[in-house]
Chains A and B, each alone.
Chain A
């Protein structure tokens, strides 16, 4: 199946035109080259070489780099860790009988993950926090269970003495 873009010629790359007059505005990164557009983020003048067209938005390489490293530009984000899935998996797995003994470690770990990563960006396609809520509730239940068992144990020991 072929789309119309298949027959579109690719635009040739440009290296930037040199400035001819002293009063011509030049590129922030290449002072000898003519500025063609300002950066939409920082406002620096850019030549054709430095201008990056991100679907209608003109940006300079440093703004793109900053946006990518700080995760502010969604278009440049290529990876996310699903902390909500990790928390939920951890809280569910510990109900399996052989792993039940790990509950005293996994329940606090689940709570830590939920609280620490509550504000982190979730999956872009299903950005709801129900997994965090479910993991939190389960971890609280697990901690309550540990508390109950500990209380019963203390009472038993007290009665025995």
Chain B
């Protein structure tokens, strides 16, 4: 048995983590070996290796995603929110300047996130196909990096496989494209990279569509509250937010181990994060309101202006997020339903094996 260790001369660009924080963060890196590509998945102090020989690699697909754009919009909105809030604290309300500086620092952090996210370029998903396997290379999550790696791999694999494609091969491509898309659809619904093969349940996305329609209703309510601040009593709007949170939690539970695509799952998680932020801001608003009322008993406080600004800011942000999330979610969901209908397996006729 050969004891000579393989020498990996070069690391390919791309490094990413998948999972939430420290709990389940799998890192991935790609290294070029003499005759194969080594995919290293790292989980804490363990490294798991997958070797893809250049002669076996059949195709590499890169699909542009909107994750980066959504992240930019979220960063921009949060930066604007904290910027306006900080400026309001500085200029009009005679607040403690330390609070204003703190809010401005938070806004700058979000702006930095926006700048970095823009600098890294658009996001994408990359899949590598072999005759028996389809592997997602999640370390190639940025389009420019993925293209660079694809070009490099193409040159190496072409040499290893002896030649380039001719016109007959290209004509043949369209025929096999359908099966590849179907394979990718199955992978898209799969669990994290380190997960074992799990049973995937079909989900028609009814709870998700209810959630996205409820977000549209919330958007209408936000517009109404912007125009007529006394349109709804506070308990009604708070009850509606509670209903939204309930439906979101149900959707998050429902999408676990289902065949819903990753983008729909991401929108649901983003909705959950947005609702948490909304509840947090509502809490801050209530605290300020109570503080103003209690302190105002002895001497009048200039908090009324801040409260008006806060109500308008929260409603505006709520409107933007509601519209964005509902439209994006409904669009992804309709895409998923259409693809599911196209790739649905034909049912066997009675008596047919």
Q: Which residues 1-50 of A have a CB within 8 angstroms of B?
A: 1-8, 10, 41
Q: How far is the CB of A45 from chain B (nearest CB, A)?
A: 19
B55-80 near A? 1/0 per residue, CB < 8 Å: 11111111000000000000000000
Q: Does B133 touch A at the CB level, under 8 Å?
A: no
A5 touches B45 (CB 8 A): no
A80 to B45, CA, bound (A): 9
Please name all residues of chain A whose beta carbon is closer than 8 Å to the beta carbon of B6 when the two chains form the complex: 74, 124
A2 touches B5 (CB 8 A): no
Q: Interface-forming stretch among A81-89, A103-111, A136-144, A152-160? A: A81-89
Q: Does A125 touch B at the CB level, under 8 Å?
A: yes
A5 touches B50 (CB 8 A): no
B47 touches A4 (CB 8 A): no
B31 touches A4 (CB 8 A): no
B59 touches A124 (CB 8 A): no
A5 touches B47 (CB 8 A): no
- Which of A63, A75, A127 has most B Cβ within 10 Å? A75
A98 to B128, CA, bound (A): 46
Q: Which residues 58-115 of A have a CB within 8 angstroms of B?
A: 63, 67, 72-75, 77-83, 85-86, 89
Q: Does B3 touch A at the CB level, under 8 Å?
A: yes
A121 to B162, CA, bound (A): 35
Residues of A in contact with B, size category: 20 to 34
Please name all residues of chain B whose beta carbon is closer than 8 Å to the beta carbon of A75 when the two chains form the complex: 51
A73 touches B47 (CB 8 A): no
Q: How far is the CB of B197 from chain A (nearest CB, A)?
A: 15
B35 touches A81 (CB 8 A): no
- Which of A5, A55, A78 has most B Cβ within 10 Å? A5
A79 touches B46 (CB 8 A): yes
Closest to A123 in B: B47
A6, A41, A77: which contacts B59 (Cβ < 8 A)?
A6
B58 touches A1 (CB 8 A): no
Taking A4-B158, A73-B2 as known contacts, 6 extra A-B pairs with beta carbons closer than 8 A to each other, sorted by chain A number, are A1-B150, A7-B165, A55-B35, A79-B49, A80-B46, A124-B8
Write 19 A-B pairs (CB below 8 A) sorted by A numbering. Answer: A1-B60, A3-B154, A4-B162, A5-B55, A5-B57, A5-B161, A6-B59, A57-B2, A73-B1, A73-B2, A75-B51, A77-B49, A78-B49, A79-B46, A79-B47, A79-B48, A79-B49, A85-B45, A123-B40
Which residues from chain B sit less than 8 Å from chain A, CB to CB? 1-3, 5-6, 8, 11, 29, 31, 35, 38, 40, 45-51, 53, 55-62, 129, 131, 150, 154, 157-158, 161-165, 169, 172-173, 176
